[in-house]
C-alpha cells in the first residue's frame, strides 16, 4: 500500500475501466463502506452519514464506472495516525486524514461483477474534533469535508500544485453543497 499522491490516477481509472453497453449495467453503482472505529471518539458521525458522503463523491466523480466500489474508513487516535503519517509520508505528527488508493491499471482486467476496491481512508478523530473547534465549524460539517477530501484522493485527485488544489477544492465545495454544507475554503467574517 502506498500513500496516494499521483494526480493522474483519476483520469487513468476512467480510461482503463471496462465500459459495457450502458443498457447492460442499468443499476446505479453501489458503494460498500467498511467503517472501523479504532479510537474512543464521541464525535464520530453515524456510519450512515459516512456512507452517504462517500456515495456523494462516487456519484460526482465516478460517473462512467461500470462496477460497484468498496471503500474502507478507519477512525484512529493520534498515536496511530502519527505512526501511519511517519511511515508513509515521513512526517512525525498526526494529521486529519490520510488516503491510500488501491487504484491500479491491472484492475481493468477484473470481471465487471467484482467490486472495485478504491482504497482506505484513515481519519484521526481527535484532530478532526480539535480543528472543528479551532475553526468554529460544526463537527459534522468538518467530518463530511474530510471524508469527501479523502475519497477524492482515492480517485487520484491531489493538491500538490495550485491548479490541482483549485480543481480539488472546487469539487469538494460542489459535493458538500449538495448536503447543505458551506464551502470550507471560504473565509468567514
In this predicted structure, the answer to whether residue 25 has a pLDDT above a threshold of 80 is no
- Identify the pLDDT of residue 7: 33
Q: Which is more confident, 37 or 105? A: 37
Determine phi and psi for 52, rounding to 5 degrees: -60, -50
The dihedral of CA 110, 114, 118, 120: what is its sign?
negative
Cα separation of 118 and 100, whole Å?
9
In the three-class reduction of DSSP (H, G, I as helix; E, B as strand; rest coil), residue 128 is classed as: helix
Residue 3 forms part of a structural domain? no
> Domain containing 169: what range?
29-178
Q: CATH number of the domain that 160 lies in?
A: 3.40.390.30
Distance between CA atoms of 15 and 92, rounded to whole angstroms? 36
Please check whether residue 21 lies inside any domain of the structure.
no
| pLDDT confidence of residue 9 | 37
- Per the CB < 8 A criterion, the answer to whether 54 and 75 are in contact is no
Nearest-CA neighbor of 94 among 137, 131, 133? 131
pLDDT in tens, 125-148: 999 999 999 999 999 999 999 999
- Report, as an integer, the average pLDDT of 107-132: 87
- Centroid of chain to Cα 115: 17
**Residue 49 forms part of a structural domain:** yes
Number of domains the chain is built from: 1
Q: Which residue has the higher pLDDT, 153 or 21?
A: 153
Q: Extract the C-alpha cell encoding 162.
A: 495550485
**Residue with the three cell numbers 470550507:** 184
Look at residue 1 and tell me if it is in a domain.
no
Q: Is residue 24 part of a domain?
A: no
Q: How many CB atoms lie within 10 A of CB 6?
A: 15
| Model pLDDT for residues 41-74, shown as the tens digit of each residue | 688 999 999 999 999 999 898 866 767 889 999 9
Q: How many angstroms separate the CA atoms of 60 and 109, rounded?
A: 24
Amino acid at each position: 500500500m502506498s500513500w496516494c499522491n499521483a494526480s493522474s490516477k483519476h483520469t487513468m481509472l476512467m480510461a482503463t475501466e471496462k465500459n459495457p453497453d450502458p443498457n447492460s449495467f442499468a443499476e446505479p453503482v453501489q458503494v460498500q463502506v467498511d467503517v472501523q472505529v479504532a479510537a474512543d471518539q464521541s464525535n464520530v458521525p453515524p456510519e450512515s452519514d459516512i456512507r452517504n458522503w462517500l456515495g456523494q463523491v462516487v456519484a460526482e466523480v465516478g460517473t462512467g464506472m461500470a462496477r460497484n466500489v468498496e471503500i474502507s474508513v478507519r477512525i484512529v487516535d493520534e498515536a496511530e495516525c502519527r505512526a501511519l503519517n511517519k511511515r508513509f509520508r515521513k512526517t512525525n505528527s498526526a494529521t486529519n486524514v490520510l488516503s491510500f488508493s488501491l487504484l491500479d491499471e491491472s484492475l481493468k482486467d477484473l470481471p465487471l461483477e467484482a467490486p472495485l476496491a478504491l482504497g482506505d481512508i484513515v481519519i484521526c478523530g481527535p484532530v478532526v474534533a480539535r480543528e472543528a473547534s479551532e475553526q468554529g465549524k460544526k463537527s459534522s460539517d468538518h467530518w463530511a469535508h474530510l471524508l469527501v477530501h479523502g475519497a477524492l484522493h482515492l480517485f487520484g485527485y491531489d493538491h500538490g500544485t495550485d491548479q490541482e488544489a483549485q480543481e480539488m477544492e472546487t469539487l469538494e465545495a460542489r459535493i458538500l453543497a449538495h448536503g447543505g454544507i458551506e464551502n470550507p475554503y471560504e473565509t468567514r467574517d
